[in-house]
């Protein structure tokens, strides 16, 4: 599906998902959005190449963020993909061990923080982005 580095956005709030996809797309990044952990696992297993980053909401309808992490860590092909939690839940960081994820973004996240984080994992956006 993607020829370059890409990221998977796991977010059940359609407005937030659409806004983040639009922002990242305007910056030139390749992003796929899904609405829960089960869809994320399905997308990851179907992908020709793994994403360079997973942005994961914690509290979702369907399979939650913690449930997704548990399943991801059981799969040798998926467990190496960096995961950054995005959550409005102030206690989310305490419920997820820092050993389980690669970072946290509190929602609503600042655009500069989001782009800086994405650039850290995917590199700078393409020049013609």
- What predicted TM-score, i.e. pTM, was given to this entire model? 0.88
Tokens of 98: 């820092």
pLDDT, position 116? 93
Tell me the domain boundaries of the chain. Answer: 6-121
pLDDT, position 129? 44
Note the CATH number of domain 6-121. Answer: 3.40.50.2300
Give CA angle at 113 (9, 121), nearest 5°: 55
pLDDT, position 105? 85
pLDDT, position 91? 52
Non-local CB neighbours of 127 within 8 Å, separated by 6+ positions? none
Render each residue's pLDDT in the chain as its tens digit; 129 residues.
455 789 999 999 999 999 999 999 999 999 999 999 999 999 999 999 999 999 999 888 889 898 999 999 999 989 999 999 987 765 544 456 555 788 888 888 889 999 999 999 999 987 654
Residue with tokens 């796991």: 10
How many residues appear in the chain? 129
The separation between CA 92 and the C-alpha centre of its own chain, rounded to angstroms, equals 15
Neighbouring C-alpha atoms within 13 Å toward the C-beta of 61: 4
């Amino acid at each position: 599906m993607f020829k370059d580095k890409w990221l998977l956005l796991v977010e059940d709030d359609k407005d937030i998902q659409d806004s983040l996809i639009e922002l990242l797309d305007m910056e030139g990044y390749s992003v796929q959005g899904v609405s829960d952990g089960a869809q994320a696992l399905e997308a990851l297993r179907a992908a020709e190449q793994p994403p360079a980053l997973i942005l994961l909401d914690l509290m979702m309808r369907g399979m939650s963020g913690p449930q997704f992490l548990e399943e991801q860590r059981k799969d040798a092909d998926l467990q190496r993909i960096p995961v950054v939690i995005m959550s409005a839940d102030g206690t989310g960081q305490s419920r997820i061990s820092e050993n389980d994820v690669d970072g946290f973004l509190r929602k609503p996240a600042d655009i500069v923080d989001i782009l800086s984080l994405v650039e850290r994992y995917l590199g700078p956006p393409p020049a013609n982005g």
